[in-house]
């Protein structure tokens, strides 16, 4: 029997060249190597490291917008939400944070007049726009008619959800001063009240829209 020369390369089909279980190489169609998730994470972390090998802060950017009629300019982290920007950079704590993922509506403010969830927007996205918060509606000494209706009809309990509802209701009644009960209920569907005092809220909103008191409640 013929013996293979000593320096002959081992066949590609030999067991030694097979990938070991659990360490299969990733290849994209066409044979290109694809980095695994660990390698991608390592590269992403490396991108955040400075020359000294320490983690450096992520980027900052200048935000320029109008808030409650006043021009505002600040430098903030690009990842800062509009809600955090209003509360922590501008001290406008009337905007509340509940779920922080767009469900409860507590953080609702107006962006160019339209209700938005400020927990779902980055502050930098508001650059060049106009933001209105609950602080612009009225003052403790001079409540807006909507706020007065909430007070007169027990439209709040703990008040946590109230600023968000006021902002949505403000936009609704601005566009539809004689909003129907159905429109009011549809608007309220975007807000969660943990105190569950929806009947008082409805009474207040009906009064603000000029609807007669609901005889059932």
Residue closer to ligand FES by CB (options 159, 210) is: 159
Does 194 sit near ligand FES (CB under 6 A)?
A: yes
Beta bridge partners of 77: 60
Burial code (b: 16+ CB inside 10 Å, e: under 16) for 34-69 equals: eeeeeeeeeeeeeeeeeeeeeeeeeeeeebebebbe
In sequence order, what are the residues at sequence separation of 6 or more whose Cβ sits closer than 8 angstroms to the Cβ of residue 206?
A: 181, 184, 212, 213, 214
Shortest Cβ distance from residue 68 to ligand FES (Å)?
Answer: 19
Question: Which residue in 82, 102, 86, 95 sits closest to 190, CA to CA?
Answer: 102
Write each residue from 67 to 106 as x if it is in contact with ligand FES (CB under 6 A), else as -, in one continuous string. Answer: ------------------------------xxxx-xxxxx
Does 169 sit near ligand FES (CB under 6 A)?
A: no
Residue closer to ligand FES by CB (options 136, 188) is: 188
Write each residue from 122 to 161 as x if it is in contact with ligand FES (CB under 6 A), else as -, in one continuous string. Answer: ----------------------------------xxxxxx
Shortest Cβ distance from residue 116 to ligand FES (Å)?
Answer: 10
Beta bridge partners of 115: 110
C-alpha 189/C-alpha 134 separation (Å) is 19
Residue closer to ligand FES by CB (options 138, 197) is: 197
Helices 145-152, 198-208: inter-axial angle, 10-degree rounding: 140
Question: Which residue in 160, 174, 175, 173 sits closest to 206, CA to CA?
Answer: 173
Q: How many residues touch ligand FES (CB under 6 A)?
A: 23
Shortest Cβ distance from residue 162 to ligand FES (Å)?
Answer: 6
Q: Which residues bind ligand FES (CB under 6 A)?
A: 97-100, 102-107, 117, 119, 156-162, 193-195, 197
């Amino acid at each position: 029997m013929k013996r293979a020369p000593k320096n002959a390369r081992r066949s590609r089909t030999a067991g030694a060249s097979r990938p070991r279980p659990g360490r299969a190489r990733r290849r994209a169609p066409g044979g290109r190597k694809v980095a695994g998730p660990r390698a991608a994470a390592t590269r992403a972390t490396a991108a955040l490291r400075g020359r000294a090998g320490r983690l450096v802060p992520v980027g900052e950017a200048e935000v320029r917008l109008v808030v409650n009629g006043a021009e505002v300019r600040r430098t903030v982290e690009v990842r800062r939400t509009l809600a955090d920007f209003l509360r922590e950079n501008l001290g406008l704590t009337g905007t509340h944070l509940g779920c922080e993922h767009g469900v409860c509506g507590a953080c609702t403010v107006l962006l160019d007049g339209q209700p938005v969830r400020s927990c779902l927007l980055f502050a930098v996205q508001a650059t060049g726009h106009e933001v209105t918060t609950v602080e612009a509606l009225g003052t403790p000494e001079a409540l807006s008619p909507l706020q007065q209706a909430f007070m007169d009809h027990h439209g709040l309990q703990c008040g946590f959800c109230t600023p968000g509802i006021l902002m949505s209701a403000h936009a609704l009644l601005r566009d539809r001063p004689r909003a129907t009960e159905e429109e009011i209920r549809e608007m309220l569907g975007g807000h969660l009240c943990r105190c569950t005092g929806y009947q008082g809220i409805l009474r207040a909103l009906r009064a603000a829209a000029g609807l007669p008191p609901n005889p059932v409640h």
